[in-house]
Amino acid sequence: GKAWSGTARIDGKYRNPAWAPPPAVRRDKPNLPDVIPGGSPRNPMGVAALTLTGGEYAIHGTNVPSSIGGFVSYGCIRMYNEDISDLYNRVRVGTRVVVTR
């Protein structure tokens, strides 16, 4: 998986977001569709997403709970769906996010 650290802010909050695989993912998985609709069991964003400034990363749920804790991310922060739902309700757009190693 890809790892990063730094400071960002939440710039968007989305329930059941659609997912458009970014170029790095498409390079590794060329058979993915251009967009996977929100709510689809194939959508890796899970039930909610908090997008971060900079445009590359998000804090989001998952469609594969057993993957939590593994090195499978392209840089996003994956959470169990019940945890991202709780976090979604606790934060607002503009909240500062600090990622450390």
Show which residues are catalytic.
60, 76
CA neighbor of 37 nearest in space, from 56, 18, 54, 13: 18
Q: What is the SS3 assignment for 71?
A: coil
Radius of gyration of the chain (CA): 13
Beta-strand runs (E) in the chain: 6-15, 48-52, 58-60, 77-78, 96-99
